[in-house]
Structure 1
Amino acid sequence: MSSFSKWLGAGLGFTLGGPIGAAIGFAIGSFVDEFNVEDLTKEKRSYQRRVESKRGSINTQSGDFEMSLLVLASIVIKSDGKIDQRELDYVRSQFLSMYGKQRANNAFKLFKGIVKKDISARQVCIQIREHMSHASRLQLIHFLFGIAKADDFVTQKEVDEIKKIAGYLYINQYDYESIKAMFYDASDNAYKILEITKSVSNDEVKTAYRKMVKKYHPDKLRDLGEEHLKGANEKFQSIQNAYEKIKNERGM
């Protein structure tokens, strides 16, 4: 359990407390079937000591983003009343690509415990928005749409849940619709991604593009660590592709 304990505490700041910390604690308790009672007791005591030592901390670390992803992903996956294996596989594959095998295995082990707990999306999002930048919160929404789309069919309940989470995270309607459009094929999606309508002028298209480049530039997420830049680059590429599509359509 030592490697798991080291991973769990190394990169955590604000998520050691509050509703996210409670979900983590619950997940650790669910390991009782996998580990012996002595190891479980030591892990829970170690976790509690870290919570007490960092109580009141508002520092955001790489692990905080990771834990926030796990908790919010568990909420979205359960929103349609079932847990689809393809969605679980997507979570695992994303963590493998971001964190490598050992860290991903630890994260998914924790996730399987978290997904068993009923969690208040509102309370979790309040905790996140108090400690996480707007750019990081946008990235969370991007990841959640990726999970919902993993089974090739996004249910209305999943969309409603992500929209509710976005609202709790103080993500406005334009940003939400922009990210959502990145996961759908529709004639006006390029415009939605740039947060404009087809009626705007070419100069307005260019202005919107520059604004979105600034908003979604991967450098805004560098404080979360290199492991989280893959998703940021995907989002940024969606902006580039949308702009190129509009330019080609208009002959700009």
Structure 2
Amino acid sequence: MQITGKIICGLLGLVLGGPIGLILGIWIGHSFDKGLSQNFEPFSVKADPSNAQAVFFESTFSVMGHLAKADGVVTKYEIETAEQIMRNLGISGDKRQQAIEAFQRGKSEHFSLSQTLEELRLNCARSPSLIQMFIEIQILAATSGGSVSAPEMTILYKIGSAFRIPRLQIERLVEMVIAQQSFHRDQNTGQYTASRGPSIEQAYKVLGIESSASKQEVKRAYRKLMAQHHPDKLVSKGMPEEMIKVATEKSQEIQSAYDMIKKQKGY
């Protein structure tokens, strides 16, 4: 039983208002003690990590399928792109089959984007970095051809709206993901996969900053992005371990962009 509030408020009321103040203070203190005795455990219970991983996995590939059908018909190229993303994510075996089935469900006319995003929000709402990773993977699928079509952009806006992310921020994420792809290196050769090497302008877009940014601003943006894409942190928040490869690659791309900026600015 809590009585601390009654004592403190009662004494304070007595000093300031005499007997009437004492009564009023005890009443206020009682309300305070009652609030402290509430059981807040239901609000502090964290979502089941394993459930969050399952929801993240299903949502990622079903929404990817929905995005592929944005233009009306899923082309052979879009299917190949989805399979390539699965390979890039390091998904194989049973998990690959699950990803394909989720992708097919996303292509269905009966697929509910809003319901899928709501379930993802309920399971991952406490992990903004996980939500951003989900959106970046969708943008990665949409930009596989080098640009995003108007119907695909509409869906990306809807995804952003579900998580209260402004359109401007979605557009900036698209720029960042496209720029990051310029810093992607082939695992076998170690060379950049883009036909031309990344530019300093793209390096700034990777970090989401202007070329006029100060040294402190550059470091702040770099540290924030590295924290958002840290593989171990993402796994602990609900990202399936089978998909952690993409987070590792993004961390490497961010590091490469940061190194280029440091060299250009002479840090």
TM-score (norm 1): 0.67
* 2:138 alignment partner, SS class: helix
Give the CA deviation at 1:159: 2.6
Q: 1:240 aligns with which of 244, 255, 261?
A: 255
CA distance in 1, matches of 2:220, 2:102: 44
Superposed counterparts of 1:1-252, under 5 Å: 58-59=47-48, 60-96=51-87, 97-132=89-124, 133-171=127-165, 173-174=168-169, 177-178=172-173, 180-184=175-179, 188-223=201-236, 224-252=239-267
AA aligned to 1:181 is M
On the 8 A contact 1:75/1:115 being kept in 2, the answer is yes
For structure 1, the 5+ residue unaligned runs are: 1-56
CA distance in 2, matches of 1:130, 1:244: 37
1:101/1:180 Cα in 2 relative to 1: closer, same or farther (>3 Å)?
A: farther
1:183/1:130 Cα in 2 relative to 1: closer, same or farther (>3 Å)?
A: same
Give the CA deviation at 1:228: 1.6
Give the CA deviation at 1:77: 0.9
Rg (Cα) greater in structure: 2
Give the CA deviation at 1:110: 4.2
CA distance in 2, matches of 1:62, 1:112: 19
Give the CA deviation at 1:68: 0.6
Say which is worse superposed, 166-175 or 69-78, in terms of deviation: 166-175
TM-score (norm 2): 0.63
Give the CA deviation at 1:200: 1.8
AA aligned to 1:213 is M
CA distance in 2, matches of 1:131, 1:109: 21
Post-superposition CA distance 1:159-179 (Å, at most 9, x none): 332233123123454476245
CA distance in 1, matches of 2:266, 2:152: 37
1:247/1:187 Cα in 2 relative to 1: closer, same or farther (>3 Å)?
A: closer
CA distance in 2, matches of 1:250, 1:58: 44
CA distance in 1, matches of 2:250, 2:54: 21
Say which is worse superposed, 221-230 or 109-118, in terms of deviation: 109-118
AA aligned to 2:142 is A
On the 8 A contact 1:142/1:235 being kept in 2, the answer is no
Give the CA deviation at 1:94: 3.0
CA distance in 2, matches of 1:217, 1:110: 26
CA distance in 1, matches of 2:176, 2:82: 21
1:244/1:123 Cα in 2 relative to 1: closer, same or farther (>3 Å)?
A: same
- Please provide the CA RMSD for this pair: 2.7
Post-superposition CA distance 1:53-95 (Å, at most 9, x none): xxxx953342221101122112211222221222212222333
Aligned length: 196
1:191/1:163 Cα in 2 relative to 1: closer, same or farther (>3 Å)?
A: farther
